Chains A and B, each alone.
Chain A
Amino acid sequence: MPVLSRDYTGPACPRCHARLTSDWIQTGMVICPDCNKPFEAMAFQPRQRSIEVVTVAAALTPEGANACANHERNAAVTNCSRCGLFICALCNMDIGTGPYCPSCFDRLRNEESLQPAATRYRDYPSMARVAMIAGLFFSFMFLGIPFAAASLYYARKGFKQLRAEGRSVGWLVVTMVFAGLEILGGLTLIIILIAGVVGAKK
């Protein structure tokens, strides 16, 4: 489910969220023209992104250059590392994971194979923790074992996630230890129960 948020339309008053026109984007103490309340601001003028595209005709090699698969007038600068297509600077989707053509980039992003491009994911460490705590609460109903199993499953996925992000796995280890104890406790409870039933029959 998408995170609910206002559509972003550019700099606005941080108090009343009224859009600020370029006249009001300035450094110093600014009084919002809408709510008349002050805020401190530091304005910047970022440069535009530029991509240098070389045409096939202007390519400096004697034989010319290979044309981009998507833009026949543009000279290719590299190959897509997945499909091998010749791509120009405009088509080169490189986010530090190697050059990809736009369609391969889209596909890999949808498959969540490109970690730096991932903008949405599940918080498996939290899921593992909640399943472990639920297991503790419901252990008296013999539900500790399934909850602990779910916790271990999520923890396994959480490990991969945290390692990929270079974050500490300390809490996840604690969660796994507790989940293990829940399983042991649950099994012990079942064994005691069975032993009690068998003992009563004798």
Chain B
Amino acid sequence: MRINATAHVAARGAFGLGSACLAMTLCAICFICGRCVAAADMTVSMLDSAGHGVAGIVIIAAPEAAVAEKHALRSAIMDQQHMQFVPRILVIQTGTGVDFPNSDQIQHQVYSFSAPKSFKLSLYAGHKYPPIVFDRPGLVTLGCNIHDGMIGYIYVTDSPFFGRSDESGQLQLHGLPSGNYTLTAWHPQMQEPGDNTLRLQITLGENEHLAPVLHLTRPLRTEMTHDGDKRWTDY
């Protein structure tokens, strides 16, 4: 908007005045862009002990100083398909509303009694309930009271800089202000000593592109989807 309005003034004004305005505008643009450039990028790599990329890991870059103006998406979807939560792991920023549609033909009864967000959705199919806002950071474990094998996770973080590693084990984070960060990596199948979480302290300078690497010390526990077996009810 600002650029368009300034260009309009420049077009109708006298040449001298227009030039001055244009120069000022360019300065303003440079100033704005300069601020953008000052924000750095980061490519986080998640590797196993053999050096291979590990996909699907929740990675969060939490700045030491608050980043008041930066917000991630404020809505997300946790679907239910073939008696599984899809995605099985969702990472969101605090304050995000999560929709819980049920795409299965059968009813589910979703609940959580995790400390950051405790709730229950009475038996339903389709799209029955409004989004649930996750307003406290932490790990929320989801279950279905009808199908005990359905387990899902919502990782809620105050930081706007987060994601999950891709197939090559990498996550690109953009627009990070310079400063100190704590990198956190988590996955339900991690077997790391302590609290099954990897942490790394880093400092990001202005215009810097950092490529920190996180190493798993132990392999992920084998994941079983039992995609066909999920339809079965145990007697």
**Chains A and B are bound partners:** no
B residues touching A (Cβ–Cβ < 8 Å)? none
Interface residues of A (CB under 8 A from B): none
